[in-house]
Chain A
């Protein structure tokens, strides 16, 4: 019983790794943390007779792995946003330039496309622009159809950064 469970947990993690490149972020978080929670619960049960302690260890490890995976997802996605903002920052309105993300960890697929500045939102100390980003390539293959996204970027000192604020809490829906 225990062995098959461990095997399933490992299978779950492998499936999660395969899915991570297809951009299935929430599934990756769930499978990785669940797998780790199950495995550590089983391990803890082998060394302690106290079911409460074993349960605590299982759930604790699950929570730790979940926040660990989320931390790295955030870090990687931040890299991707910064790279697009860096390309778009110096452009004038109407000017198009290709972009490509290079990520330090394979937690997301590397993407490529083009970016254009559609509007200067503000100038001076608050230097912000509105950009239209196309995603034409995701991973190794070309995207089946080019998709467009609109975002804002602002200049912080010498660096341009993604400046899109979070959705209104009423519009979070399934985001959380």
Chain B
């Protein structure tokens, strides 16, 4: 029994490793859940326990990965917003973000295209590019995006609001 459990645990670890290597971050949760479900189902001989553990692990991993990815996006947004805040209209500067784990790093250029003051807050509109070394080597141009930042109590922050609910589509 103990040996069987050890084997299933080893199987989980190996399968998890494969999952991380083989797939993009977002699908890890489903694979981890499936592996955990199969492992615990075979260890306990009860399919309900297998389903419960599988679903529980999937939900837990899913929520944690989303939390980490969101934090990384937030850091990237903070970096760009901070840069834009200190720049004048027409000015251009490089931006770069490096995370502790070398995943989701980014760099490119940002240019302020408009500054507008409202009775509520000062805001700026900027165009930024995201450079991908592999795409650049293949001769593709860096994609460009437009965003807005505003100055709040804690300095300049990303201010692009969420899309209209009718346009959420596959986002949720």
Which residues in A have some Cβ–Cβ distance to B below 8 Å? 1-2, 5, 8-9, 26-27, 30-31, 33-34, 37-38, 41-42, 44-46, 51-52, 54-55, 58-59, 62, 70, 73-75, 77-78, 81, 94, 96, 114-116, 118-119, 132-134, 145-151, 161-168, 170-176
Q: Does B119 contact A58, Cβ atoms closer than 8 Å? A: no
Number of interface residues of B (CB under 8 A): 54
A145 to B116 Cα, complex, angstroms: 21
Q: Does A148 contact B51, Cβ atoms closer than 8 Å? A: no
B66 at the interface (CB under 8 A from A): yes
Given contacts A55-B47, A118-B116, A166-B168, contact A176 B52 (CB under 8 A): no
Given contacts A132-B121, A133-B161, contact A70 B55 (CB under 8 A): no
19 A-B contacts (beta carbon < 8 Å): A30-B63, A41-B47, A41-B51, A51-B41, A51-B50, A54-B48, A54-B51, A59-B51, A59-B55, A73-B172, A148-B123, A151-B161, A164-B160, A165-B164, A165-B167, A166-B169, A173-B73, A173-B104, A174-B70
A52 to B48 Cα, complex, angstroms: 10
Segment of B3-11, B84-92, B145-153 in the binding face = B145-153
Give the residues in chain A near B73, CB-CB below 8 Å. Answer: 173-174
Give the residues in chain A near B168, CB-CB below 8 Å. Answer: 74, 166
- Give residues of chain B (107-152) contacting chain A, Cβ–Cβ below 8 Å: 116, 118-121, 123, 130, 143, 145, 148, 150-152
B159 at the interface (CB under 8 A from A): yes
Q: Does A176 contact B163, Cβ atoms closer than 8 Å? A: no
Q: Does A168 contact B145, Cβ atoms closer than 8 Å? A: yes
**Which of A77, A132, A170 contacts B118, CB < 8 Å?**
A132
Give the residues in chain B near A70, CB-CB below 8 Å. Answer: 172
B69 at the interface (CB under 8 A from A): yes
Q: Does A166 contact B121, Cβ atoms closer than 8 Å? A: no
Q: Does B153 contact A149, Cβ atoms closer than 8 Å? A: no
* Nearest 4 pairs of A and B residues by beta carbon: A51-B47, A174-B69, A45-B48, A34-B59
Q: Does A78 contact B148, Cβ atoms closer than 8 Å? A: no
Q: Does A74 contact B165, Cβ atoms closer than 8 Å? A: yes
Q: Does B154 contact A37, Cβ atoms closer than 8 Å? A: no
